[in-house]
Structure 1
């Protein structure tokens, strides 16, 4: 299975998601999106494929979201995408794309929806065990 993760190594959710993918026996393509942001069409396609709206793909915490006035309901999806591309930290993470689908993996175990079933349980950084139970 092919997999790509739009990853931020400083984010625990992103680290757990990457580790879950590897635990499933898949070595994904890792794109550190803060250094190498997706193109507009790619970002728009990922959001649509994940079945969420552009606003749902916005990260608020630790970003210029408030300073940019992105809570204004009059802003269009195109305007929000422009902001995300100008400030990649606004892109919520991690997005994962596999042969089985695309997800915004918050929480990290959402990635299990688009991976083969785990044969062994996985322990997240905080000690929570997810995946196979036996």
Structure 2
């Protein structure tokens, strides 16, 4: 694989830190994007979800207190609305997401990153 790797992460997340360690240990160059400092746009999140090849709901952290208070698991919202809510509330985005070219993996567990190495 020749495309550069990018990890979208939250620095305080243990799975993100473990994935970053695996990337560093691999010796491959990568870019790290803290999406709390550099927020994702709706279009960027949609592109990540498309690369993951999963339904939008699979990227929603439905166990987060905010998701529970908004009753996101019970509501049948259109994908665009869910993406908008996740962009406005990044704690609701599953993490970390690692991308290489047209492929992406959700690194839960962190070892999933090896699929892109």
**Same-fold call, TM > 0.5?**
yes
Among 67, 70, 77, the residue aligned to 2:69? 67
Counterparts of 1:61 and 1:14, CA distance in 2: 18
RMSD over aligned CA atoms reads: 1.5
1:84-103 CA deviation, whole Å, 9 max, x = no partner? 01101111100111137211
Q: Which structure has the larger Rg?
A: 1
Q: Secondary structure at the match of 1:26?
A: coil
Unaligned segments of structure 1, at least 5 residues: 116-134
Give the match for residue 16 of structure 1.
Answer: 18
Match of 2:83 in 1: 81
Poorly superposed stretches of 4+, deviation over 6 Å: none
**Residue matched to 1:54:** 56
Partner in structure 2 of residue 91 of structure 1? 93
More displaced 10-residue stretch of structure 1: 56-65 or 80-89: 56-65
Give ranges in structure 2 of 5+ residues lacking alignment: none
Q: Deviations over 1:58-91 (max 9, x none)?
A: 1134441011121134211111101101101111
CA positional deviation for 1:104: 1.0
For this pair of structures, how many residues does the alignment match?
A: 115
